[in-house]
Structures are given as C-alpha cells and as structure tokens.
Amino acid sequence: MAQRLHLVFGGELVSTGATTFKDVSKIHVVGIFPDYASAYRAWKAEAQRTVDDAQTRYFIAHLHRLRDEAAAASATEELGA
C-alpha cells in the first residue's frame, strides 16, 4: 500500500486575502503525517491556537500528489544513484 504523506505548515501572510507568506524564513513546519486524518488534526490544532491572529494561516500539502512513482526519475534523483 502506497503511503499518502501530508505536510502541515503555516505562518503569517501578507494579507488575509492572499496566500503569500510575509517572511518565508518564519514558516512554521508542524510536521509530516502518514494520513489525511492525522494531518487534519494537527492543522486544526494549529489553526485554533492562532485563531486570534487573522493573518496567520495553516495549510495541508498533499505530498503524495507531488510524486508519480510510474514516471521516470528526474535528473536530480538520478544524481544520488
């Protein structure tokens, strides 16, 4: 069974109507989770913790969607071989 990894991260945005971070060096990486349910719980906890800061947002990135195991390896991946 393939892993379906999810990354939870967030930080302060430039404005409430954008998804551009104010300072990318201050992005808070919550962690990588093995399934959507656990990523959602982590996302929700961080979102609730920062509810009073309107410009702080957290996101769930579906890491498993970024990689197609059937596709040929990229040149960068082949450097390690």
Q: For residues 57 and 2, which has the higher predicted lDDT (pLDDT)?
A: 57
Residue bearing tokens 């410009």: 55
pLDDT recorded at residue 34: 94
Give domain 1-60's CATH architecture. Answer: 2-Layer Sandwich (3.30)
Of residues 11 and 73, the one with the higher pLDDT is 11
Cα separation of 1 and 35, whole Å? 12
Quick check: 56 pLDDT over 90? yes
Domain boundaries, the chain: 1-60
Closest CA to 2 of 68, 54, 51, 61: 68
Q: Are 30 and 42 in contact (CB under 8 A)?
A: yes
Give pLDDT tens digits for 13-48. 999 888 999 999 999 999 999 999 999 999 999 999
Report the C-alpha gap between 55 and 5 in whole angstroms.
26
User: What pLDDT, on the 0 to 100 scale, is given for residue 68?
Assistant: 63
